[in-house]
Structure 1
Amino acid sequence: MTDWLEIRRGDGPLIISLPHTGTDIPAEIEATLPSAWIARKDADWWVDRLYAFARDMGATTVRTRLSRTAIDVNRDPAGVSLYPGQTTTGLCPVETFDGEPLYGPGQAPDETEIARRRAAYFAPYHTALTAEIARLRAIHPAIVVYDAHSIRSHVPRLFDGELPQFNIGTYDGASCAPALTAAVEAACDASPFSRVTNGRFRGGWITRHYGAPANGIHAIQMELACRGYMDEPADPASPDNWPPPFDDARAAPLRAALERILSACIAFAKDPA
């Protein structure tokens, strides 16, 4: 294990992947970034804290403490766009979701630097995730890989209007069994929050790469709107207002819904027929 890779093992048939909650940036990379705040702006803020309860349910968690600015472990390592024709960010992003440049002139990573980061950071994360999938699949008839994310409710450059609270991604049904999708949808719909399936977010590289329903590995992505657990500012994000602190009281209803969602994942994995 490295100092940036956090693995907490459980014995249940559920793995929670946390690829974007990190904010650490290696010093040699941070030296090329004009703004420390911009470099960390698009983190999935507080999502690891939001899902901390899952360990008591027997879930395994795999998390990188590194910022997605250093390396995005939820992108195709070959650099292929996950959403052709739509605005997105890459394996080593060079701009934020809002289009702000992350690097100074001439400082963006070249192919050699991208390859170095891929070997140093991307590969170990996926080696760990692959090992946990194999460990749990060996003792369960099926497992669920749940890729946990969040994003600001309004990012006009990426999507129109306000994002639903729950955004389920199953790679248009290819990454998991229909029964799992239906169970997660039902848990979402029993809550007071809005939900969409395979809308703007259909699942990143982790969901698409690891989902193999025929082999008992069912992958699903959950992209949450941040307003469910923090007081999102009405004004555009700035160093003065972003990120807001985690709000336990505000998060309580969302966390209760997430507990039902993860319980549905576990129940499915125990009886996937």
Structure 2
Amino acid sequence: MNAVDVKQGSSPIILGFPHTGTDVPADIHARLNDNGRMLADTDWHIDKLYDGLLPEVTTVHATFHRYVIDANRDPTGVSLYPGQNTTGLIPDTDFDGKPIWRDGEKPTAADIEYRLKQFHSPYHVALAKEIERVHEAHGLVVLYDCHSIRSHIPFLFQGKLPDFNIGTNEGNSCSPEIASAVGRIAFAARGYDAVINGRFKGGWTTRHYGQPQLGIHAIQMELTQSSYLTKEAPPFAYDEAKAERLRKHLKDILEIIRQTAIKLGSK
């Protein structure tokens, strides 16, 4: 299987989708337990949610599931959130802290090395290539990393997660103009709540690629699945009415990023 699917556009914006993939090779699937085979921690339907919102946008999708290997984790295995519960490069558990592998089938060091080469690296090679291409064309590029998660996960965070979780690595991965523009739209969205650099400050993708001083801006958006799914449980069905309400705000967010990028590029 191809680890990554790329659709090129002429916009200065790239949408990254590291967690929408559901492909699991048969040999890896056989090692998952019944809980793991549910693939519950997928960023369900996020690609559909963003589809068609911005003309000529480039998209980079990881086709493999995060249980194969997580494309948004440091390839060295260093934790994104030291001291907090989180899942690793190849998760041992789901987001509820429950095991996902059959007894004796947890991935080994050799498994990690193999999956880095076959899945993680190809995704990031493709993403880096698109960042270089778009940056060369515009003198600036904005990587907008698309994510979603259940709104209540006690293992990872207390209480309810805000609907819009904007991550900029504490302001280090993108310009303040882009961060504030996105924040204005998200905080003004009626019926939703938002936070910047709360529980989710941006994953490895945001932190690794974001170099605003070089004209490479990266920002992560983690949406609550309650904002666009019928319910946050199997079969994780897409709710058309809820999604359309949310898509209006997401369209405004992508458009304000585009406009801000053009202004920054002209300076």
Instruction: Classify the TM-score, shorter chain.
Output: over 0.9
Instruction: Report the AA paired with residue 106 of structure 1.
Output: G
Listed as ranges, the matches of 1:1-150 within 5 Å are 3-35=2-34, 38-54=37-53, 56-150=54-148
2:251 maps to 259
Listed as ranges, the matches of 1:97-246 within 5 Å are 97-192=95-190, 193-232=192-231, 241-246=233-238
Q: Does 1:247 align with 2:233?
A: no
| 191-200 vs 244-253, greater mean Cα deviation | 244-253
Runs (4+) of structure 1 moved beyond 6 Å?
A: none
List gaps (5 residues or longer) in structure 2.
none
List gaps (5 residues or longer) in structure 1.
234-240
Aligned residue pair count? 264
Instruction: Report the AA paired with residue 228 of structure 1.
Output: S
Quick check: 2:174–2:211 contact (8 Å CA) kept in 1? yes
User: Secondary structure of the equivalent of 1:33?
Assistant: coil
Paired with 2:43 and 2:93, the residues of 1 have a C-alpha distance of 16
User: Secondary structure of the equivalent of 2:181?
Assistant: helix
Quick check: 2:227–2:243 contact (8 Å CA) kept in 1? yes
Instruction: Report the AA paired with residue 139 of structure 1.
Output: A
User: Secondary structure of the equivalent of 2:137?
Assistant: coil
Instruction: After TM superposition, give the deviation of residue 89 of structure 1 in Å.
Output: 0.5
Quick check: 1:45–1:243 contact (8 Å CA) kept in 2? no
Quick check: 1:147–1:220 contact (8 Å CA) kept in 2? yes
Paired with 2:17 and 2:102, the residues of 1 have a C-alpha distance of 28
Paired with 1:36 and 1:255, the residues of 2 have a C-alpha distance of 31
Paired with 1:268 and 1:26, the residues of 2 have a C-alpha distance of 41
Instruction: After TM superposition, give the deviation of residue 15 of structure 1 in Å.
Output: 0.4
User: Secondary structure of the equivalent of 1:138?
Assistant: helix
Instruction: After TM superposition, give the deviation of residue 119 of structure 1 in Å.
Output: 0.4
Instruction: After TM superposition, give the deviation of residue 143 of structure 1 in Å.
Output: 1.2
Quick check: 1:188–1:261 contact (8 Å CA) kept in 2? yes
Quick check: 1:141–1:269 contact (8 Å CA) kept in 2? no
Instruction: Report the AA paired with residue 186 of structure 1.
Output: R
Quick check: 1:39–1:69 contact (8 Å CA) kept in 2? no
Quick check: 1:14–1:143 contact (8 Å CA) kept in 2? yes
User: Secondary structure of the equivalent of 2:59?
Assistant: strand
Paired with 1:39 and 1:119, the residues of 2 have a C-alpha distance of 25
Instruction: Report the AA paired with residue 224 of structure 2.
Output: A
User: Secondary structure of the equivalent of 1:139?
Assistant: helix
User: Identity rate of aligned residues, in percent?
Assistant: 46
- Scaled by the length of structure 1, the TM-score of the pair is 0.94
Instruction: After TM superposition, give the deviation of residue 14 of structure 1 in Å.
Output: 0.3
Paired with 1:36 and 1:170, the residues of 2 have a C-alpha distance of 32
- Scaled by the length of structure 2, the TM-score of the pair is 0.96
Instruction: After TM superposition, give the deviation of residue 38 of structure 1 in Å.
Output: 4.5
Instruction: After TM superposition, give the deviation of residue 249 of structure 1 in Å.
Output: 1.0
1:238 maps to none
